[in-house]
Each structure stands twice: as C-alpha cells, then as structure tokens.
Amino acid sequence: MKKRIKRKTGRNKISYKVYYWLTGIIVFISLIFFFRTTLAMYYYTIKEKFEVNEHGYSDLERSQKVSETQKIQAVLQKYRGNAFGLDISRHQGSIVWDSVEVIKDGFPISFVFVRATQGAFNRDAFFKKNWANLTKKNIIKGAYHYYDVNRNSTAQAKNFIATVTLQKGDLPPVLDVEELPKNQSLELLKKGILNWLQIVEDEYKIKPIIYSNDAYFIHHIPDLDLSDYLIWVANYNPRENPIHPKWSFWQFTEKGIVKGISQNFVDINVFNGNQDKLKELTIK
C-alpha cells in the first residue's frame, strides 16, 4: 500500500509540473500578444495624430467639420483685405515657428496674441518660448492675461507686469474675461476688471484691449464703461460679423488649422481694418 501511494504521488508531482509549465507558457504568450497589440495601437494612434499630409497641415483636418471649414472660408473671403491673426497658449504645444506664415489658401498671419499669465500666480509654460520666437519673426505680437474672476485684481495685474515686457511695435496688453465669479458679486467683479485695466495702463502707458464673448458683453457687463478700450470679441456662430458694435478684433473660430501647429486646433481672428490700421494700434 505504501509503495503504491508513493508511485501515485510521484505521478501527481509530474502532472503538476507539466500543468505549471503549460500554464506559464500560455500566460507568457498571452502577455507577448497583449503588449504587442497595445504597442501597435499606441503607435498608429500617435502616428495618426501627428501625421502631416501633402499640404503640410496636420491631420486635424480629418476632425474638422465641413460646416466649420465653410464658415472659416466665408469669413476669410469676406474680410480678404483685413489683417488676420492667431491667439495661442500652452494648449498648442511646441510650435514650429519657421512654418507659421499663413492661414489656409494663402492668407498671411499679421499678428499673434500669446497667453502670458493666468490668475495671481500662474504663467503660461510656453510663453517665453513663443514670445521669443515671435520677436524673431515679422509678425506683430501681443500678450494676454486670463482673468481669474475669484482672485484679487491687483495681484493679477502685478503677475502680468512681472511677466511681460512690451516694446515698440507690440500690441497693447489684453485682459481675457470669460467666467462668472463664485466668491464675489458681479459688481465687485466689474470693479476688479476696471482696476486691472487701470494698473496695466499706468505701467505700459497704453490702454489695454479687453476680450470676452458676445454673450458676456451683452448679458453680464453691458453697463461696464469700456468706451475707451479696444474690444476683442469671440463669436463662433456662422455670422458676417460679431454682435458687439465696437469690435476691433473678432475671434471667429477656435478650430483653425495652421501649418506648424499640429498638437491642437488654434483660434483665428480678424482685425477690423488692414495691416496699416493694425500697426497704428501698436506701442510707439
């Protein structure tokens, strides 16, 4: 009886070893297949995202709606004699500035606004690089501050001033206001906006530009006296012009495609005048 039990135990040990080896081999092959498939999917996803077609534009074109393309073309054609430009931030990633010359179909890029700061402490990670590259190019540049509607306006103005050095030929500084406050009243927000504008004007000796969308100007700050300031308005609807009667710049799409910018879409703007009129706005 004992010998039989031993022989049976020995056979069981062999069976278990075979089972473990087979299981290990199957798991190993499965892992190889899994990682190979994952790497292949990752490669083709990244390749598709950054692939450039024969026109030199990124494959963002594939995800741009036909209606958006038609709207952009309509505005470009309507304002053919005007100056066109971009506004950028870290969301556009690393830009190949040598390639940034025109919007599709040969419309030259005359100006670029660059986000410099946000709130009381934040600085755009790509501001210095973008600002330096634009200085080398024959493109008029401007810097903007994204306003934190719940933060102290004086601290935000100081953040912008400490970050941005403007010189002759640059556009006036810009205040970008888009949100509604949670920690203060709308009336206090309006006072903060005017305070930021005044501090920045005193520093650079030129009146800033104020940016927002048509709805914000109409519904939230219609009584704010901005008669002395240039207005930069956003309206992405299919229109011949924005609603604001005093617009100087119109951001008409956030889905623009420009050679040299492949990480994301870019905002495209039209100035309410030609290149010479645009130069008249710059710092003297």
Q: What's the rounded Cα separation, in Å, for the pair 144 and 174?
A: 4
Q: What's the rounded Cα separation, in Å, for the pair 10 and 6?
A: 6
Composition of the chain by helix, strand, coil, percent to 5: 45, 20, 35
What is the arithmetic mean of pLDDT over 199-223? Answer: 98
Residue 50: its pLDDT value, please?
A: 43
Task: Quote the domain boundaries for residue 39.
Answer: 1-50
pLDDT digits (tens, 9 = 90+) for 229-254: 999 999 999 999 999 999 999 999 99
Check: CB of residue 116 under 8 Å from CB of residue 163.
yes
Is pLDDT at 169 greater than 50 in this prediction? yes
* Eight-class DSSP state of 144: E
Same domain, 91 and 75: yes
What is the arithmetic mean of pLDDT over 89-101? Answer: 96
Percent of the chain topping pLDDT 90 = 74
In terms of pLDDT, which residue wins out, 199 or 14?
199
pLDDT digits (tens, 9 = 90+) for 97-154: 999 999 987 899 999 999 999 999 999 999 999 999 999 998 999 999 999 999 999 9
Same domain, 41 and 104: no
Mean pLDDT for all residues in the chain: 88
Same domain, 221 and 120: yes
Q: Count how many domains the chain has.
A: 2
Same domain, 189 and 74: yes
Residue 224: its pLDDT value, please?
A: 96
Is pLDDT at 3 greater than 70 in this prediction? no
What is the arithmetic mean of pLDDT over 46-60? Answer: 50
Band (33; pLDDT cuts 50, 70, 90): low
* Eight-class DSSP state of 82: S
Helix H segments across the chain?
Answer: 2-50, 66-78, 127-136, 153-163, 186-204, 214-219, 275-280
Residue 106: its pLDDT value, please?
A: 86
Same domain, 63 and 42: no
Same domain, 114 and 8: no
Same domain, 1 and 142: no
**Paired strand residues for 84:** 109, 270
Is pLDDT at 56 greater than 50 in this prediction? no
Is pLDDT at 11 greater than 90 in this prediction? no
Q: What's the rounded Cα separation, in Å, for the pair 221 and 119?
A: 20
Q: What's the rounded Cα separation, in Å, for the pair 17 and 269?
A: 71
Check: CB of residue 191 under 8 Å from CB of residue 218.
no
What is the arithmetic mean of pLDDT over 197-218? Answer: 98
Both tokens of 82, joined, read 């005007």
Same domain, 165 and 129: yes
Same domain, 256 and 129: yes
**Paired strand residues for 103:** 107, 258
CATH number of the domain encompassing residue 175? 3.20.20.80
Same domain, 144 and 249: yes
pTM: 0.80
Compute how many other C-beta atoms are within 10 angstroms of the C-beta atom of residue 151: 18
For the chain, the farthest-separated pair of C-alpha atoms sits apart, in whole angstroms, at 108
Of 50, 66, 85, which closes a domain? 50
Residue 16: its pLDDT value, please?
A: 61
Same domain, 114 and 30: no
Cα-based distances in Å from 244 to 152, 189, 213, 252, 272:
28, 21, 9, 13, 12
Both tokens of 201, joined, read 């004007």
* Dihedral (CA of 62, 65, 66, 72) sign: negative
The C-alpha angle with vertex 265 and arms to 117 and 146, in degrees rounded to 5, equals 20
Residue 42: its pLDDT value, please?
A: 47
Residue 104: its pLDDT value, please?
A: 80
Residue 9: its pLDDT value, please?
A: 53
pLDDT digits (tens, 9 = 90+) for 171-185: 999 999 999 999 999
Same domain, 270 and 239: yes
Side chain identity at 171, as an amino acid letter? Answer: L
Band (13; pLDDT cuts 50, 70, 90): low
> By C-alpha distance, which of 126, 192, 197, 195 is closest to 163?
126
